[in-house]
Amino acid sequence: MTQTSRAVRIHAHGGPEQLVVENVEVGDPGPGEVRIRHHAVGLNFIDVYQRTGLYPNAMPLSLGMEGAGVIEAVGAGVTHLKAGDRAAYAANPPGSYCDVRVMPAMNVCQLPDAIDFETGAAMMLKGLTAQYLLKRCPPVEGLNAGDFVLFHAAAGGVGLIACQWAKALGLRLIGTAGSDEKCALAKAHGAEFTINYRQEDFAARVKEITGGNGVKVVYDSVGKDTFDKSLDCLMPFGLMVSFGNASGPVPPFAPGILGAKGSLYVTRQTLFSHITSRERTQAMADDLFAVVEVGQVKIRIDQRFALTEVQQAHRSLEARATTGCTVLLP
């Protein structure tokens, strides 16, 4: 059966004006695929990177990496889902900015009844990212309750989840943000200390907070603007986890500086290296669902846009005018 769906696509890299809503045909799922009708779709900075060409893709490109809705049909070999199931995902290939799509089933998970569709759409990519950052990227000397960590963009979608989850794990999270209001938001969600990086030297403040010792881990999705000073925040053998480029990509650097600053470690992470199997995806999702269901992590959705308002949604995200999570509603 073939049906028509609205889908947001780009035909060339560029600004938000490249985002157009078009009608596309959607057929039946093939082997290992599902067809899902979205109730809500998540907005993420990776969508901006793909739109601008920082992460290039073939054209035309359908955008969007996470969503939640109801399974309409499953293809051969799909056993963990069936028609009528509530489901949510963070997955490649992109294409979630639409009413309905056919996609690989591997990263699609059943959504617990206690979690609504908007929350499911907002939490998957950002929540699974927080899960691997806190649970699967440990520094060489381990990460234990009482340890200091630094999290940039702490009032963003990933940041607010990480603040809460870190507190539940007993970590002492220092969060940075670009305004006093965003700092207050991060603190309300579990950050023990916050730093307005527009008003304070965050590296100096981190050293002050930690008694000159520094932090075990820095989690950085900002990129170019924060990378160099973040290295100065680390204690010897500390770990710099780069997982985004909101201010632009990190320029090349000489590895010798890592030795001079305390034999540091640096890693560039992406969620899609972690969710490479059905079993691994489900285990990470189960961990996320558990902390959300018991209330240790609350998913804050501060912006909602209609699918047709996608250009404005991208402008708000790029202007750092958003807090928490943003969803598009088909």
pLDDT digits (tens, 9 = 90+) for 10-20: 999 999 999 99
pLDDT at 246: 83
Q: Kindly give, in sequence order, each residue whose CB lies less than 8 Å from that of residue 61, ignoring residues fewer than 6 positions away.
A: 9, 10, 50, 94
Confidence of residue 1 (pLDDT cuts 50, 70, 90): confident
Strand-strand pairing, 33-42 and 100-104: antiparallel
Two tokens at 96? 């979630």
To the nearest 10°, report the CA torsion of 90, 93, 95, 96: -10
Instruction: Give the number of other Cβ atoms within 10 Å of residue 294's Cβ.
Output: 10
Task: Please state the φ and ψ torsions of residue 127, each to the nearest 5 degrees.
Answer: -70, -40
Q: Work out whether strand 234-242 and strand 215-220 pair parallel, antiparallel, or are unpaired.
A: parallel
Domains of the chain and any CATH numbers: 3-126+278-329 (3.90.180.10), 138-268 (3.40.50.720)
Q: Fill in the amino acid letter for 56.
A: P
Q: What percent of the chain has pLDDT over 90?
A: 95
- Backbone angles phi and psi of 286, in degrees to 5: -60, -40
On the CB side of 272, how many CA atoms lie within 13 Å of its CA?
8
pLDDT tens digits, one per residue of 95-116: 999 999 999 999 999 999 999 9
Identity at 264, one-letter amino acid code: L
Q: Distance between CA atoms of 302 and 325, rounded to whole angstroms? A: 6
pLDDT average, residue stretch 157-176: 97
Q: Is the dihedral angle over the CA atoms 169, 175, 246, 229 positive or is it negative?
A: negative
Provide the pLDDT confidence category of residue 66 given band limits of 50, 70 and 90: very high
Q: CA-to-CA distance for 313 and 292, rounded, in angstroms?
A: 25
Specify whether the backbone of 97 is left (phi greater than 0), alpha (psi in -120 to 50) or beta: beta
Helix axis angle, 180-188 to 157-168, nearest 10°: 40
User: β-pairing, 86-90 with 20-26?
Assistant: unpaired
